[in-house]
Structure 1
Amino acid sequence: MFMIWDKAAECIERPQMEELQLTRLRQVVARVYENVSFYREALDDSRVGLNHIRSLRDIRLLPFTTKDDIRNNYPYGLFSTPLKKIVRLHASSGTTGKPTVVGYTKKDIELWAEMVTRIAVAAGAREDDVAQVAFGYGLFTGAFGLHYGLEKLGATIVPASTGNTERQIMLMQDFGTTILVSTPSYSLYLAETAHSMGIDTRSLNVRLGLFGAEGCSDGMRQVIERLWGISAVENYGMSELIGPGVSGECECKAGLHINEDHFYPEIIDPVTGAPLPYGETGELVITTMTKEGFPLLRYRTRDITSLNPEPCQCGRTLVRMNKVQGRTDDMLKIRGVNIFPSQIESVLVGIREIGPHYNIIVRRKGYLDDLEVKVELADESLLEDFRKLEGLQDMIRHKLRVILSIDAAVRLVQPKTIARSEGKAKRIIDLRDQK
């Protein structure tokens, strides 16, 4: 029997959902036109007014919003309420010097907690759980979002934050942690550290992993579940939209349920911007329909996925997004071929002789780009048998060629020599601009 936090919202019939979405879409368009000069100018330039939004299909008339738009209006230019009504600021790291800043009203914070509670319950979290939050508490939204949602559920929160990995293991033992909240890559590092301490992770009380902030392939999920003896589920969100809570997997693990009464999803062609139908893969675009402090129209997430409108076996009728295949800004173009890191990971995690930690290194040799995959051996003794090592390299290289349609060099290194991360793993090392 699947538990559902808010059946009225999560199991709503499609016609009623669309009616609610249209009402809220018109409300957010009116709100940003009145309160945000950026949107007022963009809508006027597009000659689109509230009277043009007569159906959900008319959302296509609205302009897109990009991360550059947020940066160009740093720090408060896209806020739709006065700063005195903003009770919290968060920000994502800025690759160009300035972070993307988001603001929350009291109502936004309550909404955030509600959305995360939904996805936590869908994943299998319960009131009597002890949840250890191993995300960093700070401007990053991940820790606070999962903290609020699980606390609203009634679970006991261990706000461990990141770092001091051996202490994390001690807390799990002493506090009887049943839910681990972290990035997928950090859960691997935690398991590795526990084993080095002589602790079997499967002997701990942890039964559920709520993972986010980075992608996790099905193969990597299987590795995590095997190491920990848990159910590993993925949730999705980003600071610009609200943080975690936009969508999450239920216990069926058949896609991530989008809280679409608050976040309207679209899929577009990432090159042309043209809308794509259900089932087709493209870029996810989200409109936040109920946020007060920092609403966004048609925000281009850069995440590549598809949408499934069919009801789930769990009873929820919310549209489901498939696992994110990659990001348009993480996509590598090597010798004319588009490559996502998730494609490489799908090859590596199925090979028992190697570990789950890897780097993707891109260099420029002459006028051509060169791809190298560096991956750790699971057993150091393999380094003593050159024939086996060469055979393993050839096998990995062949599998990569089948998936990627190009040749990639493979470098096998000793165990525990690739840098671990307490947050998002840095998989790609792009050296093409280095002289």
Structure 2
Amino acid sequence: MSYWNEKYECMSKDEMRRVQTERLIKTVTRVYNNVPHYKAKMDKAGILPGDIKSVDDLKHLPFTYKQDLRDTYPFGLFAAPMSEIIRVHASSGTTGKKTVVGYTKNDIEVWAEVMARTFAGAGAGKESFLQVSYGYGLFTGGLGAHYGGEYLGATVIPTSSGNTKLQLSLMQDFGTTHIACTPSYALYLAEEMEELGIRPEDLKLKAGIFGAEPWSESMRREIEARLKIKAIDIYGLSEVIGPGVACECEYQCGMHIPEDHFIPEIIDPETEEVLPAGSQGEIVFTTITKEGLPLIRYRTRDLSSLNYEPCKCGRTEVRMSKVTGRTDDMLIIRGVNVFPSQVESVLLSIGETAPHYMLIVDRKDNLDTLEIQVEITPQLFSDEVKKLEDIERKIKKEVESTLGISAKIKLVEPKSIQRSEGKAKRVIDKRVL
């Protein structure tokens, strides 16, 4: 069994608690002294840094929400001066404003470290050829995997996303052994291989590290059967660090969390009470080594559970189960965060349709699709076809500019979208996850 950092990956629970306590105290002091937003929150809760004496005191600290990052956009939660921030990444938010993350030199090294552990857990090493087919740019996937692969000592092939025929050609020519991409793209690669007459035996591919979108066990089985590889699940959030917050090992029995960097909790999303080990609830993370954007008790809105038993691989790190859903209305479509409220703001800004809409999410040919049904007004209903087509194009352009992904726009008759007396139902997700 290959470990990247055996000292921490196989550390005893008592020793890990000592490490976490020391790092938590430093982090709490750092945010209190350097981030006015955190100081105000802690003062309001009547908590000073000196009150935090061990990991047991974590439950007394206030939560951090995505809204906190929006309220302090762009750099208000940074705990390091901008002169020490060497990179920023960002993910989409509900209002069009992005959630911005800053990294110091040390943060980039921590990120590379946790991603190196990820790849080692998937069986990769210095002799491996790692093809990174996540998108590069503000999205954390591509560069996170890239730096982790280099830190591991693997040969990194930075293909980014798209250009599938070239990707397959390089996999054959370079002898790619591991690939990092979305699971839906992995199935698309399998389809293209079949069309081009490329057999799994023609490749040296051993494993794939798949994330950035929800996927099911049945999808895992299909990927493994068609590509003849081991499909490894990875979990990440740009706010916490990016990919590498948790990842499966070769035994595929829960995602290992690097507890020396991130402390997880499971809470009841309604009462915010911390739940005992094994309970299903919302997973919350506290970062204890990050300098640029440390987060205290960040509410992810993702539903999961924690297993503290040692894994068959020998690692003692806590494992989180596959995310089963969310407590908010955010969708993840082709690796992009999508909120119905973003669509609503676009429609209201255009102002030529009724404010009633429905998002239909599906998975066709193993790729996520998004159709947005928009109700037209009675006046528009009797208008000429060209006028309706112009509105459709205008909505499509604005939606794609706001969301960052393509969507099919379908104008529907007045009052054809079901009304609700309670919270409006805006999403129909037909994907089998």
TM-score interval for Structure 1 and Structure 2 normalised by the shorter chain: 0.7 to 0.9
* Aligned counterpart, 1:170: 169
* Aligned counterpart, 1:95: 94
Classify 1:426/1:183 alpha carbon distance in 2 versus 1 (closer, same or farther; 3 Å). Answer: farther
* Aligned counterpart, 1:124: 123
* Aligned counterpart, 2:15: 16
Within 1, Cα distance between the matches of 2:49 and 2:73?
A: 27
Within 1, Cα distance between the matches of 2:120 and 2:165?
A: 29
Within 2, Cα distance between the matches of 1:426 and 1:149?
A: 33
Classify 1:425/1:272 alpha carbon distance in 2 versus 1 (closer, same or farther; 3 Å). Answer: farther
Conserved in 1, the CA contact under 8 Å of 2:188 and 2:365? no
* Aligned counterpart, 2:359: none
* Aligned counterpart, 2:28: 29
* Aligned counterpart, 1:161: 160
* Aligned counterpart, 1:272: 271
Within 2, Cα distance between the matches of 1:36 and 1:154?
A: 36
Classify 1:252/1:425 alpha carbon distance in 2 versus 1 (closer, same or farther; 3 Å). Answer: farther
Q: Deviation of residue 143 (structure 1)?
A: 0.8
Which SS does the other structure have where 1:91 is aligned? Answer: strand
Within 1, Cα distance between the matches of 2:96 and 2:291?
A: 27
TM-score, normalised by the number of residues in structure 2: 0.77
* Aligned counterpart, 2:109: 110
Alignment of 1:209 with 2:222, yes or no, is: no
Conserved in 2, the CA contact under 8 Å of 1:287 and 1:298? yes
Within 2, Cα distance between the matches of 1:358 and 1:239?
A: 21
Q: Deviations over 1:70-98 (max 9, x none)?
A: 01111000000110100001001233110
* Aligned counterpart, 1:259: 258
Matches within 5 A, 1:206-355: 206-330=205-329
* Contiguous gaps of at least 5 residues in structure 1: 333-347, 366-422
Conserved in 2, the CA contact under 8 Å of 1:267 and 1:276? yes
Q: Which runs of 4+ in 1 moved over 3 A?
A: 354-365, 423-427, 431-434
Amino acid at match of 2:95: T
Within 1, Cα distance between the matches of 2:371 and 2:97?
A: 27
Conserved in 2, the CA contact under 8 Å of 1:185 and 1:425? no
Q: Deviation of residue 35 (structure 1)?
A: 0.1
Within 1, Cα distance between the matches of 2:71 and 2:16?
A: 34
Q: Deviation of residue 50 (structure 1)?
A: 1.9
Q: Deviation of residue 359 (structure 1)?
A: 6.2
Conserved in 1, the CA contact under 8 Å of 2:8 and 2:260? yes
Within 2, Cα distance between the matches of 1:272 and 1:288?
A: 23
Within 2, Cα distance between the matches of 1:356 and 1:193?
A: 12
Which SS does the other structure have where 1:232 is aligned? Answer: strand
Amino acid at match of 1:308: N
* Aligned counterpart, 1:58: 57
Q: Deviation of residue 126 (structure 1)?
A: 1.6
* Contiguous gaps of at least 5 residues in structure 2: 332-361, 376-403, 411-416, 418-424, 428-433
TM-score, normalised by the number of residues in structure 1: 0.77
Q: Deviation of residue 433 (structure 1)?
A: 5.2
Classify 1:426/1:200 alpha carbon distance in 2 versus 1 (closer, same or farther; 3 Å). Answer: farther
Which SS does the other structure have where 2:312 is aligned? Answer: coil
Within 2, Cα distance between the matches of 1:330 and 1:128?
A: 43
* Aligned counterpart, 1:415: none
Classify 1:202/1:215 alpha carbon distance in 2 versus 1 (closer, same or farther; 3 Å). Answer: farther
Conserved in 1, the CA contact under 8 Å of 2:302 and 2:324? yes
Which SS does the other structure have where 2:93 is aligned? Answer: coil
Q: Deviation of residue 215 (structure 1)?
A: 2.1
Amino acid at match of 2:73: Y
Within 2, Cα distance between the matches of 1:175 and 1:238?
A: 31
Q: Deviations over 1:179-234 (max 9, x none)?
A: 11100011111111222222224431111101111122211110000010001101
Classify 1:85/1:356 alpha carbon distance in 2 versus 1 (closer, same or farther; 3 Å). Answer: closer
Q: Deviations over 1:130-155 (max 9, x none)?
A: 11111111001111111111111111
Amino acid at match of 2:124: A
Classify 1:330/1:426 alpha carbon distance in 2 versus 1 (closer, same or farther; 3 Å). Answer: farther
Q: Deviations over 1:377-433 (max 9, x none)?
A: xxxxxxxxxxxxxxxxxxxxxxxxxxxxxxxxxxxxxxxxxxxxxx99999x9x755
Within 2, Cα distance between the matches of 1:287 and 1:219?
A: 32
Alignment of 1:138 with 2:147, yes or no, is: no
Which SS does the other structure have where 2:231 is aligned? Answer: strand
Alignment of 1:79 with 2:67, yes or no, is: no
Classify 1:88/1:221 alpha carbon distance in 2 versus 1 (closer, same or farther; 3 Å). Answer: same
Within 2, Cα distance between the matches of 1:245 and 1:91?
A: 16
Q: Deviation of residue 261 (structure 1)?
A: 0.7
Q: Deviations over 1:22-46 (max 9, x none)?
A: 1111111100000000000000000
